[in-house]
Structure 1
Amino acid sequence: MTDTAATPRKQTLDKDLDKLVHVEEATSTVARGLVAPGLGLLFLALAAIFAATYVAGEPGAIIIIAAAAIGAYMALNIGANDVANNVGPAVGAKAMSLGGALLIAAVFESAGALIAGGEVVGTISKGIIDPAAVGTPEAFIRAMMAALISSALWINLATWIGAPVSTTHSVVGGVVGAGIAAAGFASVDWPTMMQIAASWVVSPVIGGVVAALFLAFIKTAIIYQDDKISAARRWVPLLIAVMAGAFATYLTTKGLSRVITISGLGTALVGLAFFAVTWVFAHILVRRQSEGLENRNQSLRRLFKLPLVISAALLSFAHGANDVANAVGPLAAIVFTANESTVNATVVIPFWVMVIGAAGISLGLVLFGPKLIRMVGEQITKLNPMRAFCVALSAAITVIIASALGLPISSTHTAVGAIFGVGFFREWYTAHSKRRRAYLERKGVEFRKNGGVSPEDEEELELQNTSREEIARRKLVRRVHVRTIVAAWVTTVPAAALLSAGIYLVLDLMV
């Protein structure tokens, strides 16, 4: 009787203990989800305290401290959203781990911001509104505050839905909305706005076309050659040299333009010099790396991994040098206006403001960046080192082309457009390339003769026997992500403008 009576109590105790375990597991899961937001809030508080040590006792100190916290929030969102374009392709191509990408991007983003971020920035974001039209310094501060809050909120929303958007366009929309609310439509430079709107189309189209052309060259000259290794020894050094020359030119014109001033001819000579030197050394490196490699696509991927890692670091440096102004430009305007009680189109950025921007971008990347990194690198289309190399190279070359033509450009639209271009080109090439089908027919003969083939070629042979209708159905680019991203691009400026106008009106009523 005793044993019979004890058994139910034991089972009840086990159930209660199981419930406690489940509650602990659920609590732990929820707690892990709150770590990143908690650290983000801590950073905002530290940014406000950091600002207070510099502006305590100065005119408008309270406003500056509040603006510093909002600027830190903006910087966190830029790190969470925009940096993914620089390292996402390398992560998706398995050229580096997510942790390694976060470390490299954080270091080079901070270095670019602090070394080459510059001391002077246009606070009205590309001159799209007339500072004199805004009116009093107090109204101007409210306009900049509204622009900062609205652009940060919009980027936060875009990150949450998984859409990489242009932080520059977000700030532009915020400034436009606040400017209209403060001084009417006449305060906006509409021709400049039309140029910015044109970049919605120009940036991704040029980026996609350039990336597709490079991928077409790699497929034709290397991948679908019978002797892949010999073809790689001939052409990969040239591609690496083109990348080196492009990035040298890109960094000279964009990333280091505030540190040193070089003429157009000088910039071209720098690019050519890096191209020539890299070509020589790349020949030696590629020959050493290719020794003993099997004649298969997997071997080719190894040759592109190191250049891809270097390109991710350089893109991060250039991004930090250029886009830190998106986080701290309006904040610098508020600091200057509050201290001087006057409005100016360009101001000197205090070093402490740059530190907040650089630290915020890096921390936002580490805390919230993985989601967009995976989106850009893995979920739009499947990338390998060769495709990701084309994306990185396209990003640098497109900026150079656009700068030479005087066209406005978005690094985000360019990089994501390049990924679209690679994916859509693969869809077309898979269905229509006669060279590819001839190559696979030869591989089919080898398969039947030797009784074996590499996994990559086996996948290609399977695709060869697939009808064009089935290939079209499989789609190598996920359309749902394309629609989400394009919709976010189109709505960024008007959404940020409407939000900013509303915030300005609220701030105006509170005064």
Structure 2
Amino acid sequence: MAKSALDKDLKKVVRLEEATYALSRSIAAPGLAIIFLLAVLLFMAGLAPVGPLSIFVIAGGVVAGYMALNIGANDVANNMGPAVGSRALPLAAALVIAAVCEAAGAILAGGDVVNTISRNIVRPAEELDVFDFVMLMVASLLAAGMWLHLATFLNAPVSTTHSIVGGVVGAGIAAAGMAAINWSMMSAIAASWVISPVMGGLIAAALLGFVKWTVLFRDEDRIEAARRWVPVMIGLMAGTFAMYLALKGFSRVWKPAPETVWALGAAGFAAGWLLTRPWVARRAALIENRRKHVAKLFTLPLICAAALLSFAHGANDVANAVGPLAAIVAAAETGEAAPDKVVLPLWVLLIGAMGIALGLALFGPRLIRTVGEKITKMDAVRAFCVALAAAITVLIASALGLPVSTTHVAIGGVFGVGFLREMLANIGLNADTPKKKKVRPGDPDTLNRTPEEAIRRQIKRETRRLVRRRHVLTIAAAWVITVPAAGLLAGGIYVVLKLVMA
């Protein structure tokens, strides 16, 4: 009796400790985020130029930090989700790699699209003074951050670019009317809603199909096929990312000519192919002629691809947080609404980089699991195809002059490989899917059922669904309403600020 009572007491203590730990974790993340924002507040208070707009510069810095936290929580999941879902990286390692690479990209090469965010979307009317312009940018940042916060809470990966664009448009309309918006640029952004996920999905599915038909479906000689084709795929990855980083990752410090970009791509392909051939041969000699073993050859290339994507993402998407802040600082210094030249100081980039890294570490795991595990099952091959497809899609879109969302591209790639798996499973070409349940005569599940109902259930049983449809609907709905939702929020915030400051 005494032992039984002691066991019960011990179980109660363990449950209490677990509940305390869970509570402390739920409190720690918001607490650390608040400490970061307070640090930004003190930092901005010491740097803000003296003048009537200093309060807006300080407020803009804090709101930019809040926006950066939400970018890290939501957008970075698209780069690391497939790697975590495929078990190529544990979550903790993925968070560290992503945080380092995102911050490095933001600091070393960030800010190329600052002018797009701060000047090219809104063309202020003459009656829009510098106070109105600064309030417009503050309202845009706050609205975009709030929308990303809500989307992260709902486990919906949305485009941070579209969020800030929607915020600028909504606040711009509230401040200066419909005529102030550059609608040609908005049309191009709206077109990317469809172009980004479709292109990313098709390219990811094509890459996965190529690997399946050249390597994984070669039942008798998968290892020999892997020796031949895996270095080619790694070379394609190296060449693509060499071009990607030349065009997008380092565009703030270096703008190479098209011939140089192509030369870098060819050099990257050759180097990747030549350097990985002996590595693949050594690894292939140690594995069995099984799909799971061959798929592990893609693990290291996948980790490299995810890290490179994070670097390029930090270089580009940091402007979504600090672009409006840079415009606010420039307006405060020049006294002009929408100044002709917006310079991006290093300290502004530091706020964005630190916020993205911290937001990822504190709030990113939930969405990383959603992208990597809950849409469709991932392995190293599928995740590698998604990462490579994201880079290829952005390259193609840049060459065609199409603005695309890296979020939409990556999520489209995840759906693309998932639907390809589903299609192949339903025609009997995907042996890695679960076996069909056998139905025996007299099974309780078959009793009291009409022939028509039995046929319908048999068809449903034979049609395998390897992509969770509810995530398709949730994510698509979040994408569609991102721009109008952020715009309405920003317009309302601008009106409130206008009334308060009147």
2:153 paired residue number: 160
1:163 counterpart SS class = coil
Residue identity (%): 54
Distance change in 2, residues 1:177/1:281 (3 Å): same
After TM superposition, give the deviation of residue 413 of structure 1 in Å: 0.1
2:380 paired residue number: 385
Alpha-carbon separation, structure 2, partners of 1:332 and 1:23: 48
Counterpart selection for 1:470 from 461, 471, 476: 461
Per-residue deviation, residues 129-163 of structure 1 (Å, max 9, x unmatched)? 10345710000011001100000000000000001
How many positions carry a matched residue from both structures? Answer: 478
Distance change in 2, residues 1:426/1:116 (3 Å): same
After TM superposition, give the deviation of residue 405 of structure 1 in Å: 1.0
Aligned partner letter, 1:415 = A
The 5 Å alignment of 1:118-129 reads 118=111, 121-122=114-115, 124-125=117-118, 127-129=120-122
Q: Are positions 1:228 and 2:222 aligned together? A: yes
Distance change in 2, residues 1:500/1:345 (3 Å): farther
Where structure 1 has 5 or more consecutive residues not aligned to the other structure, the ranges are: 1-6, 441-455
2:293 paired residue number: 299
Alpha-carbon separation, structure 2, partners of 1:82 and 1:379: 17
1:245 paired residue number: 239
After TM superposition, give the deviation of residue 55 of structure 1 in Å: 2.2
After TM superposition, give the deviation of residue 53 of structure 1 in Å: 2.2
Aligned Cα root-mean-square deviation (Å): 2.4
Per-residue deviation, residues 245-295 of structure 1 (Å, max 9, x unmatched)? 111111111011111121111101100111011111121111011113110
Aligned partner letter, 1:227 = D
After TM superposition, give the deviation of residue 393 of structure 1 in Å: 0.6
Alpha-carbon separation, structure 1, partners of 2:306 and 2:381: 14
Contact 1:59 1:339 in 2 (8 A): no
**TM-score, reference length from structure 2:** 0.90
Contact 1:120 1:346 in 2 (8 A): no
Q: Are positions 1:420 and 2:415 aligned together? A: yes
Counterpart selection for 1:102 from 95, 100, 106: 95
1:482 paired residue number: 472
Aligned partner letter, 2:396 = I
Alpha-carbon separation, structure 2, partners of 1:30 and 1:162: 20
Tell me whether 342-351 or 277-286 shows the greater mean CA deviation: 342-351
2:120 counterpart SS class = coil
Distance change in 2, residues 1:332/1:15 (3 Å): same
Per-residue deviation, residues 190-217 of structure 1 (Å, max 9, x unmatched)? 1211111110000000000000001111
Tell me whether 53-62 or 462-471 shows the greater mean CA deviation: 462-471
After TM superposition, give the deviation of residue 29 of structure 1 in Å: 3.1
1:74 paired residue number: 67
Per-residue deviation, residues 464-506 of structure 1 (Å, max 9, x unmatched)? 989764242x410001111110000000000000111000000
Distance change in 2, residues 1:348/1:56 (3 Å): closer
2:58 paired residue number: 65
Contact 1:423 1:477 in 2 (8 A): yes
Counterpart selection for 2:390 from 370, 387, 395: 395
Aligned partner letter, 1:138 = F
2:114 counterpart SS class = strand
Alpha-carbon separation, structure 2, partners of 1:468 and 1:306: 40
Contact 1:123 1:347 in 2 (8 A): no
Contact 2:74 2:152 in 1 (8 A): yes
Alpha-carbon separation, structure 2, partners of 1:198 and 1:369: 28
Per-residue deviation, residues 66-107 of structure 1 (Å, max 9, x unmatched)? 211111000000000000111111111111110000000000
The 5 Å alignment of 1:264-413 reads 264-343=258-337, 344-413=339-408
2:483 paired residue number: 493
Distance change in 2, residues 1:332/1:134 (3 Å): farther
Per-residue deviation, residues 291-340 of structure 1 (Å, max 9, x unmatched)? 13110012112200000000011000000100100000011111111222
Where structure 2 has 5 or more consecutive residues not aligned to the other structure, the ranges are: 440-457
Contact 2:196 2:404 in 1 (8 A): yes
Contact 1:167 1:326 in 2 (8 A): yes
2:452 paired residue number: none
Contact 1:71 1:327 in 2 (8 A): yes
Alpha-carbon separation, structure 2, partners of 1:359 and 1:508: 31
Contact 2:68 2:352 in 1 (8 A): yes
1:122 counterpart SS class = helix
1:202 paired residue number: 195
Distance change in 2, residues 1:298/1:35 (3 Å): same
Aligned partner letter, 1:88 = G
Distance change in 2, residues 1:157/1:207 (3 Å): same
Aligned partner letter, 2:237 = M
**TM-score, reference length from structure 1:** 0.89
Alpha-carbon separation, structure 2, partners of 1:56 and 1:395: 41
Alpha-carbon separation, structure 1, partners of 2:145 and 2:66: 7
After TM superposition, give the deviation of residue 119 of structure 1 in Å: 7.5
1:449 paired residue number: none
1:348 counterpart SS class = coil
